[in-house]
């Protein structure tokens, strides 16, 4: 269903040629009052939005439309939000913020390997959500691509994908975020803490923080394309850097 727009501004749903594209937020939430409050807050901030009240509708929308971030209610009538998140993660690394009504659900979000980027406990202020949405988008989408045309790498932040020697890399979400952070600073040593900050919202949270494991995964995938080259450089006791050419 198309969300009723409380304050329909020209940029809230339409794409104006020549203007930067709005970030597209998908809200999957069955309570209309909560969805309305979110839609209003996000429109005010200039986001384009789409609202689905059912998990099945949300999944269908995600599979057919570009979405930059998903706000996902845990308690949906047709499918648990956790389960939907797992299904989304099988094909997409789109950032996901959980809405949860109960504090106990937070433990599951944090403890399980669901691949959520953040969560907000109801009742919440819509402005709080807007702030988190902006923070996550800032983190996951670099403003500028620091690497040059002659680079071994080609980064498309809008599509959240990276090409290496002409081949698209099949990266997990964390691998993508870590490699993206290294690509933004070619040749610079980034510490594990800096890479954690780049890839995780709350480095103190018990979400997967094993930077080394993800680096290993990245190296393996790069070697599959070009076995003789290892562009990821380990700086003992300091961190990692990336050779881009
Ligand atoms: Ca609900």
Using a 10 angstrom Cβ sphere, with 0-12 exposed, 13-18 middle and 19 or more buried, the burial of residue 185 is middle
Between 22 and 10, name the one with better pLDDT.
22
Q: Given a cut of 60, is residue 5 above it in pLDDT? A: no
Q: Given a cut of 60, is residue 15 above it in pLDDT? A: no
pLDDT at residue 17 in the model: 33
How is domain 145-242 classified at the architecture level of CATH? Orthogonal Bundle (1.10)
131-189 confidence digits (pLDDT tens): 999 888 887 765 445 566 678 898 888 788 899 988 899 998 889 999 999 998 888 88
Q: Given a cut of 70, is residue 18 above it in pLDDT? A: no
| 42's tokens | 């996000």
Tell how far the Cα of 243 is from the centroid of ligand 1, in angstroms: 47
pLDDT band for position 216 (50/70/90)? very high
Tell how far the Cα of 74 is from the centroid of ligand 1, in angstroms: 7
Tell how far the Cα of 73 is from the centroid of ligand 1, in angstroms: 6
Tell how far the Cα of 118 is from the centroid of ligand 1, in angstroms: 17
Q: Given a cut of 60, is residue 215 above it in pLDDT? A: yes
pLDDT band for position 200 (50/70/90)? confident
pLDDT band for position 64 (50/70/90)? confident
Tell me which residues have their CB within 5 A of the ion that is ligand 1. Answer: 30, 73, 75
89-110 confidence digits (pLDDT tens): 888 888 999 999 887 777 777 6
Tell how far the Cα of 221 is from the centroid of ligand 1, in angstroms: 39
CATH code of the domain made up of 24-140 = 3.40.50.2300
Between 65 and 216, name the one with better pLDDT.
216
Tell how far the Cα of 34 is from the centroid of ligand 1, in angstroms: 9
Tell how far the Cα of 79 is from the centroid of ligand 1, in angstroms: 10
Tell how far the Cα of 54 is from the centroid of ligand 1, in angstroms: 10
Tell how far the Cα of 77 is from the centroid of ligand 1, in angstroms: 7
Secondary structure (DSSP) of 209-239: --HHHHHHHHHHHHHHH-TT---EEEETTTE
Alpha helices in the chain (DSSP H): 32-44, 55-64, 81-89, 103-111, 126-140, 173-184, 192-199, 211-225
**Separation between Cα atoms, residue 32 and residue 18, nearest integer Å:** 34
**Separation between Cα atoms, residue 202 and residue 179, nearest integer Å:** 19
Q: Given a cut of 70, is residue 6 above it in pLDDT? A: no
Tell how far the Cα of 76 is from the centroid of ligand 1, in angstroms: 5
Domain spans, the chain:
24-140, 145-242
Tell how far the Cα of 140 is from the centroid of ligand 1, in angstroms: 27
Tell how far the Cα of 132 is from the centroid of ligand 1, in angstroms: 20
pLDDT at residue 99 in the model: 93
User: Closest by alpha carbon to 162, among 244, 102, 50, 78?
Assistant: 244
Q: What is the mean pLDDT of the chain?
A: 81
User: Closest by alpha carbon to 65, among 78, 46, 52?
Assistant: 52
Contact 177, 199 (CB under 8 A): yes
**Predicted TM-score (pTM) of this structure:** 0.54
Q: Nearest-5° angle of CA 167, CA 181, CA 168?
A: 10
Phi then psi dihedrals of residue 44, to 5 deg: -55, -35
């Amino acid at each position: 269903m198309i969300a009723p727009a409380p304050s329909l501004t020209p940029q809230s749903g339409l794409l104006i040629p020549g203007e930067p594209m709005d970030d597209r937020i998908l809200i999957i939430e069955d309570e209309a009052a909560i969805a309305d409050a979110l839609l209003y807050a996000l429109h005010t901030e200039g986001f384009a939005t789409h609202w689905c009240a059912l998990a099945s509708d949300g999944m269908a929308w995600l599979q057919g439309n570009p979405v930059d971030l998903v706000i996902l209610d845990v308690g949906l009538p047709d499918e648990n939000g956790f389960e939907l998140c797992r299904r989304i993660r099988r094909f997409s690394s789109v950032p996901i913020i959980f809405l949860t009504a109960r504090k106990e659900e937070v433990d599951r979000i944090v403890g399980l390997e669901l691949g959520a980027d953040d969560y907000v406990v109801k009742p919440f202020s819509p402005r709080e959500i807007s702030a988190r949405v902006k923070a996550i988008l800032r983190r996951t989408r670099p403003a500028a691509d620091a690497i040059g045309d002659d680079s071994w790498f080609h980064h498309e932040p809008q599509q959240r994908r990276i090409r290496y020697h002409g081949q698209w890399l099949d990266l997990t979400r964390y691998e993508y975020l870590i490699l993206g952070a290294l690509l933004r600073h070619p040749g610079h040593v980034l510490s594990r803490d800096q890479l954690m900050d780049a890839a995780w919202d709350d480095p103190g949270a018990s979400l997967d923080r094993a930077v080394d494991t993800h680096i290993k995964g990245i190296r393996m995938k790069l070697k599959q394309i070009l076995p003789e080259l290892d562009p990821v450089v380990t700086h003992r006791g300091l961190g990692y850097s990336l050779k881009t050419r």
